[in-house]
Amino acid sequence: MPSHEHTLTCSVTVLGSGSQGNSIAVRCGDSTLLVDAGFSARDTIRRLDACGIDAASINAILLTHEHGDHVRGIRVLAKRLDVPVYASPGTRRAAKLEELVDDPRDLQHGYAVTVGEFEVIAFRTSHDAADPVGLRFESRDGTVIGIATDTGEFTPEACEALTGCTILGIESNHDIDMLTSGPYPWFLKQRILSTRGHLSNVAAAEALETVAHDGLSQVIALHLSTTNNEAPRARTALTGVLSRLELTTQVVCAHQNTPPSVE
């Protein structure tokens, strides 16, 4: 038996991820934080239930940015769970959060806030939203969980904030060839490919290469496009980097609707 009684059990459970909706449960010990509320309250609670997570155990909801696929359920969900909602100042304004939830709380870039078991730090991402952020969660036993989704490039802030992760959720939105030769209109392709769009499989792999280390136990590919990507392509890009670095990190691809649980 390992002898570290103080080691917390930490996990990331993706309730769903993709352009139809996003919500991720980050758990350590007795604390569960929800990143984004892109499903209706009823659907979120159903997904939590399907993943074996008691909705009453959730301590707070944190929002990455104001796009509908990340905030759609926030008003009813925050009320039903009766938990505080955290967002960056720009996201608060853009989402009109004051009108939706009681007493929203600030996530300032680079400043730590304590929420449940976690110290949470928001960092800047690059996306066509008012003030988008990624999140670094550090538990009191030193476990680090990083979430970076909806970002057209892996920012220097992301690179710095996501060093030393135990579990990393990173966007792997599209395969560049599938997107460019696919059915999306030109303007939408340009938007996705821009530095304020979404990370491709190749860009996710490059980002992973900068932060991978032998303490990284899992990588979760997030926000896969159902039109412009396939899980094996995202997986191959990420595992290619890991095997080159001789790391045994597990790779999981998140789905829009089938919640895979990762522990």
Positions that interact with Zn ion (CB under 5 A): 67, 69, 150
Taking the complex as a whole, the smallest distance from the CB of residue 261 to Zn ion amounts, in Å, to 21
Nearer to Zn ion, 199 or 216 (CB): 199
Q: Can you tell me which residue has the tokens 């998140």?
A: 254
User: Minimal distance in Å, beta carbon 251 to Zn ion?
Assistant: 21
Rounded Cα–Cα distance for residues 167 and 145 (Å) = 5
Q: Least distance to Zn ion from the beta carbon of 150, Å? A: 4
Q: Which is nearer to Zn ion, 38 or 116 (CB)?
A: 38
Least Cβ distance, residue 237 to Zn ion (angstroms): 19
Q: Which is nearer to Zn ion, 143 or 155 (CB)?
A: 155
- Judged by beta carbon, residue 222 or residue 241, the one nearer Zn ion is 222
User: If you search the block for the tokens 């696929």, which residue do you land on?
Assistant: 69
Residue with smallest beta-carbon separation from Zn ion: 67
Q: Which two tokens stand for residue 130?
A: 């008012």
Query: Shortest distance, CB of residue 127 to Zn ion, whole angstroms?
Result: 6
Instruction: Please state the closest distance from residue 170 (CB atom) to Zn ion, in A.
Output: 13
Contact between residue 33 and residue 58 where contact means Cβ atoms under 8 Å apart:
yes
Write the DSSP symbol of residue 6. Answer: T
Tokens of 35: 């990143």
CB of 66 to Zn ion, least distance (A): 8
Closest CA to 129 of 149, 108, 159: 149
Q: Which is nearer to Zn ion, 68 or 215 (CB)?
A: 68
Q: Which is nearer to Zn ion, 140 or 255 (CB)?
A: 255
Helices (H), the chain: 41-50, 68-71, 74-81, 89-94, 97-100, 156-161, 176-181, 186-193, 201-211, 231-244
The nearer residue to Zn ion, 18 or 146, going by C-beta atoms, is 18
Please check whether residue 73 is in contact with residue 54, taking contact to mean a CB–CB distance below 8 angstroms.
Answer: no
CB of 189 to Zn ion, least distance (A): 16
Q: For strand 118-124 and strand 133-139, is the pairing parallel, antiparallel, or unpaired?
A: antiparallel
CB 16 within 8 A of CB 73: no
CA 149 vs. chain centroid, Å, equals 5
Quick check: 61 and 76 in contact, CB under 8 A?
Answer: no
Q: Are 135 and 122 in contact (CB under 8 A)?
A: yes
Residue with tokens 């939203």: 129
Question: Closest CB to Zn ion among 38 and 104?
Answer: 38
